[in-house]
Amino acid sequence: MSVGLEHYLILSAILFGIGLIGVLSKRNVVVILMCIEIMLNASNIALVAFSRYIEPAFLTGQLFAIFVIAVAAAEAAVGIAIIISIYRNRETINIDKFNLFKW
């Protein structure tokens, strides 16, 4: 069975699902950030696979993946800054205790 588009897409779906399980079920907020990065990487694999198998001359999927990587870097920086600044006030990284919006 030679490797085709569907193999890459199903790998991307499995990684996305694993990242989703991590985001929904973990308590350490840095681990939640790591699982968000897993989800973004899974979508990048799907983009590049589509670009290579459906329209190889255009490279649009790869350019989109570069933009997704840049946005993920910016989001990781701001996320870590928020986590560290909340940790300075509250000494906890348990996301059940991040209830700053509650009155």
Partner 1 sequence: MLDIVFWVLAIVAVLAALAVLILRDVFRAAMALILLFLTIAALYITLSADFLAVVQILIYVGAISILIIVGIMLTQNVKRGNPSGKLVIPALVTGILLIIILALSISRTFWNISNEAPVQNTTAPLGELMFGPGGYLFPVEMIAVLVLTAILGAIVLLREK
Identify residues 38-57 at the interface with partner 1 (CB under 8 A): 38, 41, 44-45, 48-49, 51-57
Integer angstrom CA distances of residue 52 from 30, 36, 55, 64, 83? 33, 25, 6, 13, 38
User: For partner 1, how many residues bind (rule: CB under 8 A)?
Assistant: 72
- Residue found under tokens 């928020």: 82
94: DSSP letter: B
User: Closer to partner 1 at the Cβ: 3 or 101?
Assistant: 3
**Shortest gap between Cβ of 102 and partner 1 (angstroms)?**
17
According to the binding rule CB under 8 A, does residue 37 interact with partner 1? yes
